[in-house]
Amino acid sequence: MVYEKFRPSDELNPFIECYFTWHSSGVSANGLVVESPPNGFCSIVFNLGDEYILHNKKYNNLVVPRQFVSGQSIYSYSLHFNGIINLCGIVFKPAALASLCNLPTFEYTEERIPLDNIFKKPAVNAIAEALSAEKDNAGKARILETFVLDIYRENKPEPDYIDWAANEIIEKNGMVDVTELMKHVYMSRRNFERKFFRKVGLSPKYYARLTRLAYLLNLIAGKKKADWGALFSECEFYDQSHFIKDFVEFTGRTPQQYLEENRELANLVDKPKPHSID
Amino acid sequence: MFAYQQKDVDKMMSFCDPAGTVEFIPLGAAGKGKIGELGRGIWESLVDCFPDIDNTLDAAVADDHRTVRCQVVIRGTQKKDFANIKSKGKSFDSDHIFIFHINDEDKIDHISVEWNHEDFVRQLTA
């Protein structure tokens, strides 16, 4: 199982978190289940391998489209594989689907939208074919970068205060005071919340809660033991009941159950460090 | 939710079929009725008793083509007695789930609302 991440160019850095490739080295992953908690990012994914199934709170058995846009997840989900895994994709900064592609992110929460519902089918097919033909992982990332650059150069987006605020929440792993954040954006709370919702798909406070828990889950990913006291303090939870409430709400499990039962990708691969695509 | 934020019950009603049904789940049988009657009455009363009532839409998920589930935080400060709750001037902050069903005329014809009513009462009376 190989999972790699690639950094975007400086030009796309305000909008793109990373590109990724994930494959099972041509080996069939029969019966493999991979779980993922919400991570705070939207993505575009190309499946170059066999079909697989998604389970989340909304879909019990969704055959995932070959190429799709994934909106914000607010609950854990699981992927069920019965064949060759060969995926690659673009992970967007939280407001970037709206800023870069003019997409209504707030309509995509918990969704997997076929990419040819959004972009022209021949263009989507051409990229999928180019990705299939490219064997090198960095090469795949370069194809994805070119795809995003074409959108960027056509739409000429400028990151605005919502991009800034959402990226700040990510940068600080959700440990931000939204009232403090608003002092830098010079607008009323209602206006800020409304614009943030339209671009990110969630309210700023809820997004910060989700991002903080995603950070904590990343710290314990692949582990079977955790020092809850230290994590509790590092992630600046107000009290234990807030911590447990957030944990159960976003993962569907108690912290201890999660440690014992989780089947995240981090259990199968080393945590990747992003490479340059050059 | 934005019309509710503006405390404009007429505007809220303009998105709804008044003959549609509403269910305020924690209130049991007393919480079931028509949007244009029970719904309007409760929302007008809330705006009257909690003049600073406000909400934040945390997330919205389409359950199907015609049904949307909204996670909303509602907050406000009590200035008048509401239902059987005597006003002590206290504030509440409560997670709510609204489920809206939209008919072929793009009007809301069913709303269900759920919240932790015990916690809501505790915040206003403790």
Using CA atoms, how far apart are residues A96 and A148, in angstroms rounded to an integer? 11
Whether B86 contacts A228, CB under 8 Å = no
- pTM for this prediction: 0.93
Give the pLDDT score at A262: 80
Note the helical H segments in chain A.
96-101, 121-133, 137-155, 161-171, 178-182, 189-200, 204-220, 228-234, 240-251, 255-261
Distance CA A42, CA A266 (A): 19
- Into which CATH architecture does domain A161-261 fall? Orthogonal Bundle (1.10)
Which residues on chain A place their C-beta less than 8 Å from a C-beta of chain B? 58, 72, 74, 106-107, 109-111, 190, 193-194, 197, 201-203, 205-206
* pLDDT for res B48: 95
pLDDT digits (tens, 9 = 90+) for B86-116: 999 999 999 999 999 999 999 999 999 999 9
Question: Distance between CA B24 and CA A181 in Å, rounded?
Answer: 35
CB atoms within 10 A of CB B111: 17
- Which domains are present in chain B? 2-125 (3.10.450.50)
pLDDT of residue A223: 82
Cβ contacts below 8 Å, chain A against chain B, sum to: 34
User: Taking the domains of chain A in order of start, what are their residue ranges?
Assistant: 2-157, 161-261
- Interface predicted TM-score of the whole assembly (ipTM), two decimals: 0.91
CATH superfamily, with its number, for domain A2-157: Jelly Rolls (2.60.120.10)
| pLDDT at A271 (0 to 100) | 74
CB spacing of A202 vs B58 below 8 angstroms: yes
- Chain-chain contact of B57 with A197 (C-beta, under 8 angstroms): yes
Give the helix/strand (H/E) hosting A55: strand A52-55
Q: Closest Cα of chain B to A58: distance in Å?
A: 7
Handedness of CA A170, A171, A172, A173 (dihedral sign): positive
Q: Would the pLDDT of A265 be above 80?
A: no
CA distance B78 to chain A (A): 21
In degrees and rounded to multiples of 5, residue A3 shows phi and psi of -125, 125
Give A26-66 pLDDT, tens digit per residue: 899 989 999 999 999 999 999 999 999 999 988 999 999 99
For an interface test with A, which of B56, B72, B74, B102 has the most A Cβ atoms less than 10 Å from its Cβ?
B56
Instruction: Average the pLDDT over A215-232 and give the result.
Output: 88
Q: Using one digit for the tens of pLDDT, what is the confidence trace for A79-110?
A: 999 999 999 999 999 999 999 999 999 999 99
Indicate the DSSP class of residue B29: G
Task: Work out the burial of residue A240: count CB atoms within 10 Å of its CB; fewer than 13 is exposed, 13-18 middle, 19 or more buried.
Answer: exposed
B59 touches chain A (CB under 8 A): yes
